[in-house]
A and B are shown apart, each in its own frame.
Chain A
Amino acid sequence: MTDSTASAPKPSSSVKLVLLGEAAVGKSSLVLRFVNNDFQPNKEPTIGAAFLTQKCQLPSRTIKFEIWDTAGQERFASLAPMYYRNAQSALVVYDMTKPSSLVKAKHWVAELQRQASPGIVIALVGNKLDLCDDDDPEDEAQDGENAEGHEEEAVRKVSTAEAKAYAEEESLLFYETSAKTGHNVSEVFTAIANAIPETSLKGPRTGAGGGTQAAISGGQDTSRVNLNARGADGAAKEGCAC
C-alpha cells in the first residue's frame, strides 16, 4: 500500500503467493507464524480461502506478500484456480508425518506447473518438523520426544532425502519447517522473495490497470491468461536452501 517507512527508502513490490496442500498439514499455521509470529494448536480449518499480507525485507528491496491461504479439503479444490491465477509464487505444503499429504502436494505441483503462470516460483514445504524429533532424517522408526499432545506416535514418515530429491527434480525450493516452533518459516518466505525474478516485480499498486501483472488488477475476464509470462524460467532456481 505505502512505501516502507525505513529511513532509507527501498523499492517496494507486491508478490502474490498462494498456499496449497492437503487439509490439516499446517498451511494456515505457517501463515500465522509468518504474519503474526504466533501459533495456535487446533487452529480452525480454513473455509474457501483466507487473505493476509506481510512484508519481507530484503537487502535491496521490500517485498509485500499478498497471501491466499486456501482450504485443504478436496471439496474446495475446484476453487483453487481462483486463488493461484496469476500468483507469482506458491507454497505447496505437506505434513511430514503423513505420506499421503506428499502425494497430494505432488498433484498440486503438477497442476501449478500445468496451469498457473509460467515462471511461478514454487516452494515445497514439509511441515510439523517439531513432531519428528530425529537427528537422522533417514531413521523413520525413531520416536522422538513428542511435543504435541494430540498426535500420538506422530513420527516422520517422509524422509528429507525423498522430498528433497523430488523438489530438485521439479526445480522447487525445498524446506522442512515447524510452524509450531517457527523453525525455517521466515526462511521459506525470504527464499521465495529472493527467487522472484526482478523483471516480474512491480511497484506498489496504483489502481486499475496500472500493474504489469494481469493478476486481479485486470478487472476484465480476458485477463485470465497471464500476459506477464516473460519471467518464465527466469526464476533464480538456486536449488535447495535447506
Chain B
Amino acid sequence: MFSATHPKRTDSLNTRLPVEMETRHDKDQLPPTLSHHTEDPQEAEWNKFILKLVETRQQNGEDLDGGELIGASAFGQEGSSGRQKTETLTRLVVGGIPMKLRHPLWMELSSTQAMMQPDTYEHFLKIGEDDDPAEMEAILKDVPRTLTTKYDFYSGKGFQRLKDLLVAFVAKYPSLGYTQGLNTIAGYLLLAIPSEEDAFWVLCNVVENFFPPDYFSRADAMVSPLADNTLLRQYVKELMPQVQKHMDELGILPGHTVPMKWFFTAFSSALPETVLMRLWDIWLCIPNQKQYLFAFALALIAQNTAEILECEDSSSFFSYMDSKIKLPEDPEKLTELMKQAWKIAKKLGDGVAVRRADEVESTKAGMNLENRLRRRRTQSLEVLVDRDEEAGAGTSI
C-alpha cells in the first residue's frame, strides 16, 4: 500500500498497530537497525494518531489501498481540523518517527511518491551497466566500505542493493556522476527504506530538491559546499558574535568553519545514526525545512559554544569540530536541540537561499582567482604578496 509497485497488502491496519507493521525487508536482507526492537513511548502516540486518521478516512469512504499512509496533502483543505492534524503531525515528526514508519512517511511527506516514474528504476539499472568504468570502479570500491564503523551490512548482504542503487543513480544523472559521500547517504536510506527502488527515488529527490543546487555537480565540484561553509560563518557572526570572534582569533578561515562532511553528506558522515535519523525526519518530512540542516549546524555550534571558546589553538578547534562535538544523548534533550534548530530555521527564513546564491558566485570567483594566483606564484613571490593584499576578502577559502 505504500507505493504503486507494491499494491499487495493483505493485513488489515485494524489488526496491527502501524508501528508494528512489517516492513518489506526480506528476513535475510534485514538491515541491522530493524533487527532489534525498541520500546519507544513515541510509538504509542504515532499509533494513536495514525489509527485515528485511518478511521476517519475509512468513514469518509476513502480507498486506502495503494494510497498514502497519512494523507497529509489533504490537511490543507480541512480547515481547523486539518490545521490541528498538521500541528500534531509536526510535533510527532520533531519528536522522531519510529524506524518502521520511516519508509512510508519519508516517501509520502517528502513528496517522493509524487516524483516516482514506474519502471524507470529498472531502466536506469540496465543502462547503468554502461556507466563510465571509472565511476563503476569508484562505486565498487566504496560500497563495501559504507557505514563499516557500525555494520558489516554493505560488505555482505547489502552489497548488491547499494551497488545497484548507486549505479542506477549515476545512469540517471550522468552530469553528476558518483561522489564519495553519496554512498553514505544512500546507505542510510536503504537502512530505513527496505525497497531499493523507493530508496533510489528518495535519493533522487534529496539530491534534486533538498540539497542546494549543484551540490554534487562535476563541473563546479565543491563550490556549493564550500560556499555553504562561508555563508555559515556569516551567520555565526550575526548570531553568535563571541564565537565568531574566537574563531577569528584562532585563525580559522571561513571555508574551515565546520568540517566539509557536515553539509556534504547531510550529516550522515558526522552524526550517530539515532541523531541523524531524527534530523532527516524533520528535513524530509516537514514542508519548507530545506534549510533545516543549515540551521541545525548553527544550533550545534550554539550548543557547543563553551567548548569552542575553550579551544586554545586552531589544532584543538579542528579536532573538536571533526570528532569531539558534543551531542545530547537522551531523546528529550535531543528534541530540545531539534527545536532550537527549528527556531533558528524560522529566523533565517528564505534569506539563506538568496545569500547562498551570492556566496556561490563569489566562491566561484575566489576559486578562480586562487588558481590564477597559484599559477603565477612560481614567477614572483613579491608581486604575489602585493596582489594578495589587493585581493582581500574576495578569496575566502
Contact = CB atoms under 8 A, between A and B. Distances in A.
A147 interface: no
Interface string B129-166: 00000000010011011111100000100000000000
A82 B230 CA distance: 13
Nearest to A118: B381
A78 interface: yes
A166 interface: no
A50 B149 CA distance: 15
A77 to B, nearest CB: 8
A221 B391 contact: yes
B322 A50 contact: yes
Interface in B359-397: 367, 370, 373-374, 377-378, 381, 384-385, 388-389, 391-393, 395-397
Contacts of A42: 144-145, 148, 155
Given A42-B145, A82-B256, A150-B144, A47 B388 contact: no
A207 B377 contact: no
Nearest to A65: B315
A5 B251 CA distance: 27
Contact of B260 (A47, A81, A218): A47
A50 B221 CA distance: 19
Interface in A204-224: 204-205, 207-208, 215-219, 221-224
Interface stretch (B12-20, B79-87, B233-241, B261-269): B261-269
Interface residues of A, number: 47
Contact of A23 (B180, B323, B385, B388): B180
Interface string A12-48: 0010000000011000000000000000101111111
B145 A43 contact: yes
Interface in B74-94: none
Given A44-B149, A75-B218, A207-B312, A224 B388 contact: yes
A49 to B, nearest CB: 7
Chain B interface extent, by class: 35 or more
A73 B396 contact: no
A58 interface: no
Given A42-B145, A205-B315, A221-B392, A75 B250 contact: no
A103 interface: no
A23 B140 CA distance: 12
B222 A76 contact: yes
B252 interface: yes
B314 A82 contact: no
A204 B313 CA distance: 9
Given A44-B149, A75-B221, A225-B385, A24 B141 contact: yes
Given A45-B183, A47-B260, A78-B221, A217 B269 contact: no
10 contacts: A44-B269, A45-B183, A51-B315, A66-B318, A73-B179, A75-B179, A207-B312, A216-B253, A217-B250, A227-B385
Interface of B: 138, 141-142, 144-149, 155, 179-181, 183-184, 218, 221-222, 225-226, 248-253, 255-256, 259-261, 264-265, 269, 312-316, 318-319, 321-323, 367, 370, 373-374, 377-378, 381, 384-385, 388-389, 391-393, 395-397
Q: Which 10 A-B pairs have the closest CB atoms?
A: A48-B260, A205-B313, A47-B261, A51-B318, A219-B251, A217-B251, A42-B145, A51-B322, A208-B249, A42-B148
Interface of A: 1, 14, 23-24, 40, 42-53, 64, 66, 71, 73, 75-79, 81-82, 114-115, 150, 204-205, 207-208, 215-219, 221-225, 227, 229
Given A47-B184, A207-B313, 18 more contacts: A1-B313, A23-B180, A40-B149, A44-B184, A47-B181, A53-B319, A73-B179, A205-B315, A208-B248, A215-B251, A216-B251, A216-B252, A216-B314, A217-B313, A219-B252, A222-B389, A225-B381, A225-B385
